[in-house]
Amino acid sequence: MFETLPAPPKLKSGVLRVIPLGGIGEIGRNMTVFEIDGKLLIVDCGVLFPEEHQPGVDLILPDLNYLNDRLEDIVGLVLTHGHEDHIGGVPFLLRMREDIPIYGSELTLAFLDAKLKEHRLLGNQYVVREGDSKQVSGFGLEFIAVNHSIPDALAVVIRSAAGTVLHTGDFKMDQLPLDNRLTDLRAFAKLGEEGLDLFMVDSTNADVPGFTPLEKDIGPVIDEVISKTSGKVIVASFSSHVHRVQQVLNAADAHNRKVALVGRSMVRNMQIAAELEYLQVPDGILIDFKDAQSIPESQIVYMCTGSQGEPMAVLSKMANSEHEISVGEGDTVILASSLIPGNENAVYRVIDQLTRLRANVVHKGNAKVHVSGHAAAGELLYCYNLLKPKNVLPVHGEFRHLIANGRLAEQTGIPTERVSIIEDGWVVDLADGRAEVVGQVECGMLYVDGKTVGKITEDDLRDRRLLSQEGFISIFAVIDPDTGRVVVGPEIRAKAYAEDDHVFDDVKPLIEAALAEAANEGVKDTYALQQVIRRTIGTWVNRNHRRRPVIIPVVISR
């Protein structure tokens, strides 16, 4: 862990303050707040999906609490692209203030609009394109085309009295992109010539040598896999990966197969992409899911969600034989995505279950069915040499990625003291061409838990893990407070522990004896007697069953 820093000093006039509230030291929940002269600009507001050690959690948000007292100071929200880890938290921000101006590309705002409708929010949206400029209070914004694994991604240049910042969002430098939309290196070069004060750059692939492979190389592999499959083909991908869906449509069309989109987000996003002509759909190739099962399996491709092993996603349900689409011998399942750190166990579990069902499972580990959407080390070096920034702030990545990115910057001649490796909540001030860490604000995890949004402590999560792993035992007893004699009970019930309640018959006399002994010692407080029961059954369960369940005793004195 990093050191704890003091609170930042009061912001001076003309100084630009940069505060990441998510996305530093993790893959997801990207969000950065920029402040100058009392006005706030936000770049991205994404979500992080929970891991196995966070049971019951639906989503994890940036720490929006930092903005509670500053909502009226927000002059705009810039969205770099339409992935969930950059736009998924926007509805929760708009619940705090619905009229925040939002700037993003056409596809990004279309994906966001569909999400806002689900939350019954309107949004105050403005479409921007590469080359556009906007003056938003004290911030001058310019938008630059960048290539990523989703169309219409943008980097943003933020100009202020304190200097010029380039925030790349997620990007790579594919020189032969499927949509012919290149990362605009000419605009990067122009910034470098003008002088760039702070470069905030995607770190996700900073520890990967060389250059990210081309998207166009994936199409022939998918085509070959489909051509060799005798049964149905199932392709799992992110629901926003328009390029991958396009390649699947093309390959299916070449082999006279129909395609059915499965999963609410997949259907919604691809309908939007097709309507806006980011997705070119061959005539007659798409069919409704309910019609797909009436045609021969050798003539169908299912495009679905669940490439990260999400337990409620379509692919996991197929792997568990809990979906209408059955998987078996002769079928091929293609996982057309990279592994997000933290999802490895879930993904390998799905692969194993599908293999057990005798399906042929094709994934990045055994075939070239996916390339990353992030710049590798060679591309980042190219950018550093082109831009020659005065200061570097690596973003978007776990700490190993941030550190690797910082070392690349140093290799190109940027002084070590001008490279800031920080964590969420650290405050960086830019003034006079120098970026310095000046303090830290409170910044934790904000959890979406059902219909509630708030902070869940590690103790809460530990209790949930105990419930899922060790079980739950409740004990009810009515006692005579003077003698400690049990009048009613003890009645013991267990969940996720033992099917037969008689397993606890041996501990009941121990509980009665412990209560009587406590009464003889003058213990009459109900809470104290509950603790007697908790200790007695806890010791017995641990000694006899090697378990540590959550124990809830209820004692009533009569």
DSSP string, 502-531: GGGTTTHHHHHHHHHHHHHTT---HHHHHH
Is residue 110 located within the same domain as residue 130? yes
Specify if 552 maps to a domain: yes
* Residue at a domain's end among 396, 430, 454: 454
- Domain presence at residue 367: no
Same domain for 307 and 257, yes or no, is: yes
Asked if 420 and 533 sit in the same domain, the reply is no
Residues 148 and 221 reside in one and the same domain: no
Q: How far apart are CA 407 and CA 405, in angstroms?
A: 5
Rounded Cα distance, 489 and 475, in Å: 8
Residues 78, 60 within the same domain: yes
Among the candidates 306, 328, 362, a domain finishes at: 362
Q: Does residue 150 sit within a domain?
A: yes
CATH number of the structural domain spanning residue 202: 3.60.15.10
Residue 9 belongs to some domain of the structure: no
Say yes or no: 312 and 435 in one domain: no
Last residue of a domain, one of 454, 486, 501: 454
Which two tokens mark 260? Answer: 């059915």
Say if residue 275 is in the same domain as residue 251: yes
By CB neighbour count within 10 A (0-12 exposed, 13-18 middle, 19+ buried), where does 143 fall?
A: buried
CA angle 104, 400, 145 (to 5 degrees): 25
The answer as to whether 196 is a domain residue is yes
Instruction: Catalogue the E-assigned strands of 172-266.
Output: 198-202, 233-236, 258-262
Listing DSSP states for 257-307 in one string gives -EEEEESHHHHHHHHHHHHTTSS---TT-B--HHHHTTS-GGGEEEEES-T
What strands lie across the sheet with 59-61, from one edge to the other? 59-61, 446-449, 452-454
What is the rounded distance in angstroms from the CA atom of residue 361 to the CA atom of residue 373?
A: 22
Q: Are 25 and 424 in contact (CB under 8 A)?
A: yes
Inside any domain, residue 74:
yes
Same-domain check for residues 412 and 540? no
Specify whether 409 is located in the same domain as 465: no
Whether residues 493 and 412 share a domain: the answer is no
Tell whether pTM > 0.85. Answer: no
Per DSSP, 149 falls in state S
Q: Is residue 511 part of a domain?
A: yes
Residue 546: its pLDDT value, please?
A: 72
Q: Are 21 and 424 in contact (CB under 8 A)?
A: yes
The reply to whether 34 and 64 lie within a common domain is: yes
CATH number of the domain enclosing 342? 3.40.50.10710
Report yes or no on 275 lying in a domain.
yes
Q: Which domain holds residue 272?
A: 215-362
Q: What CATH code is carried by the domain that includes residue 470?
A: 3.10.20.580
* Domains: count for the chain: 3
Tokens 């492979």 belong to residue: 213
Write down the pLDDT at residue 1. Answer: 46
Tell me the pLDDT of the chain (558 aa) as tens digits.
457 899 999 999 999 999 999 999 998 999 999 999 999 999 999 998 765 555 556 688 999 999 999 999 999 999 999 999 999 999 999 999 999 999 999 999 999 999 999 889 988 999 999 999 999 999 999 999 999 999 999 999 999 999 999 999 999 999 999 999 999 999 999 999 999 999 999 999 999 999 999 999 999 999 999 999 999 999 999 888 999 999 999 999 999 999 999 988 899 999 999 999 999 999 999 999 989 989 999 999 999 988 887 777 888 889 989 888 999 999 999 998 877 766 778 888 899 999 999 999 998 888 888 889 999 999 999 999 999 999 999 999 999 999 999 999 999 999 999 999 999 999 999 999 999 999 999 998 887 765 556 665 556 556 555 555 567 778 888 887 777 677 787 888 777 665 565 778 788 888 888 888 887 777 777 778 888 888 888 888 778 777 777 788 888 877
129 and 51 fall within a common domain: yes
